[in-house]
């Protein structure tokens, strides 16, 4: 394991973190990711492909968002893709306890430059979802139903933060 020194302590970076370039998810992160994936799958699986922890390759660099929403794709179980170069319509990122908001938001510009239409930024501690679209347009959702302006996907936040 590689170590990173901080003023407070020495923290170890796990293989997961090194490979994906993001902090190890927590229990709350995992639950929220499962809740969103389940809701999207149940409501939108005929309209979209919902993929989790998918390696995306843009300009030679790999990114692993928590959830990607694609238009329907074809699958060939005999030929898999380790890194996908097609940009999803929507990317969902959930803030982990050891991750900065700036770190997550900085990726959104990269995603938009590749053709992503919207990015959801979820902050578990505040039960909030921010939807970013190109041009730095941001909508904030807390208790009310969320509707993504890029895809028309609509979900009830009360079913996410439970």
Q: pTM value?
A: 0.85
pLDDT tens-digit profile of 46-83? 999 999 999 999 999 999 999 999 999 998 899 988 99
Render pLDDT for 73-109 as a digit per residue (tens, 0 to 9).
998 899 988 999 999 999 999 999 888 999 999 999 9
Is residue 102 helix, strand or coil? helix
Residue-range domains of the chain with CATH: 21-159 (3.90.1570.10)
Model pLDDT for residues 117-155, shown as the tens digit of each residue: 999 999 999 999 999 999 878 999 998 899 999 999 999
Pairing state between β 118-123 and 90-94 = parallel
Of all helices (H) and strands (E), which one includes residue 56? strand 56-58
> Phi/psi of residue 86, each to 5°?
-70, 125
């Amino acid at each position: 394991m590689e170590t990173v020194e901080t003023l407070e302590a020495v923290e170890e970076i796990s293989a997961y973190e090194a490979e994906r370039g993001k902090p190890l998810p927590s229990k709350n992160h995992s639950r929220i990711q499962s809740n969103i994936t389940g809701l999207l799958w149940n409501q939108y699986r005929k309209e979209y492909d919902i993929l989790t922890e998918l390696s995306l390759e843009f300009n030679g660099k790999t990114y692993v968002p928590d959830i990607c929403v694609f238009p329907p794709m074809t699958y060939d179980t005999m030929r898999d893709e380790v890194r996908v170069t097609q940009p999803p319509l929507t990317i969902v990122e959930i803030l982990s306890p050891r991750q900065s908001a700036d770190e997550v938001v900085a990726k959104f510009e990269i995603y938009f430059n590749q053709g992503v239409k919207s990015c959801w930024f979820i902050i578990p501690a505040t039960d909030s979802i921010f939807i970013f679209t190109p041009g730095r347009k941001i909508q904030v959702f807390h208790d009310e139903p969320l509707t993504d302006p890029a895809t028309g996907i609509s979900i009830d936040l009360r079913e996410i933060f439970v």
